[in-house]
């Protein structure tokens, strides 16, 4: 029998609107999991405020001031995830590349949302506004969002879910980012549902 009620950790470095979409989806019982932990590498991330507002355990380890290697940084996070019995890690605007310490231990149990139709506009340098600027510059007809497994190569893991939107001639990078973000909020909870139901 599949294990229900998976424990989820969400890692976020910024605003955390995708985190909010996951919090809301948990409340609406869209997926059979529990957001047990919110982690941020940035102390001022609004995602940590969302954790407080929703009474979710949070943990911050500032990457800026951390004295140690990336492996040591991730080992500290890993210890917390193991202690909290985390089954799934969701990266939601987490702006730090994970090391093998976390990826190997949580192989096929870390997912990420990316604001493009991967494999296009993924990998090094393609984050935030850079993605949408490139899409518009290249006169792409469509863009969208992708949820994928995290592997050692950024944005290269297998795709769980993807949704397309048409790029409008009037789209600026900012407008397109907002439109794609709306799509992200739809597909991330659905991808978590698939994971929790052992459908990926």
Q: Which residues bind ligand GRF (CB under 6 A)?
A: 12, 14-18, 92-93, 113-115, 181, 184
Nearer to ligand GRF, 92 or 98 (CB): 92
Q: Quote the CA–CA distance of 39 and 45 in Å, as a whole number.
A: 10
Nearer to ligand GRF, 107 or 127 (CB): 127
Tokens coding 82 = 């193991």
Which residue number places its CB atom closest to ligand GRF? Answer: 93
Shortest distance (Å) from residue 2 CB to ligand GRF:
28
Shortest distance (Å) from residue 1 CB to ligand GRF:
33
H helices, E strands: number in the chain: 6, 7
- 114 a catalytic residue: yes
Q: Quote the CA–CA distance of 165 and 187 in Å, as a whole number.
A: 13
Question: Collapsing DSSP states into helix, strand and coil, what is residue 196?
Answer: helix
Shortest distance (Å) from residue 94 CB to ligand GRF:
7
Q: Quote the CA–CA distance of 22 and 30 in Å, as a whole number.
A: 9
Nearer to ligand GRF, 75 or 173 (CB): 173
37: left (phi over 0), alpha (psi -120 to 50) or beta: beta
Nearer to ligand GRF, 12 or 81 (CB): 12
Shortest distance (Å) from residue 179 CB to ligand GRF:
11
Rg of the chain over CA atoms, in angstroms?
16
Catalytic residue among 54, 114, 132, 139: 114
Residues designated as active site: 114
């Amino acid at each position: 029998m599949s294990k229900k009620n998976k424990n989820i950790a969400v890692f976020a470095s910024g605003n955390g609107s995708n985190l909010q979409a996951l919090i809301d989806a948990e409340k609406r019982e869209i997926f059979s999991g529990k957001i047990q932990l919110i982690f941020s590498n940035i102390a001022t991330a609004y995602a940590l405020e969302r954790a407080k507002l929703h009474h979710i355990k949070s943990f911050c380890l500032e990457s800026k001031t951390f004295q140690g290697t990336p492996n040591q940084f991730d080992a500290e996070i890993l210890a917390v995830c193991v202690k909290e019995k985390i089954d799934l890690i969701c990266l939601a605007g987490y702006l730090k590349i994970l090391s093998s310490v976390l990826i190997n231990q949580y192989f096929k149990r870390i997912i990420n949302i990316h604001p493009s139709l991967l494999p296009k506009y993924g990998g090094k340098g393609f984050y935030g506004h850079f993605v949408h600027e490139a899409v518009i510059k290249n006169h792409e007809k469509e863009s969208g969002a992708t949820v994928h497994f995290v592997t050692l190569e950024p944005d290269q893991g297998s795709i769980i879910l993807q949704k397309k939107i048409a790029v409008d001639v009037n789209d600026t990078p900012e407008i397109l980012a907002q439109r794609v973000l709306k799509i992200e909020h739809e597909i991330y909870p659905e991808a978590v549902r698939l994971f929790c139901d052992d459908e990926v």
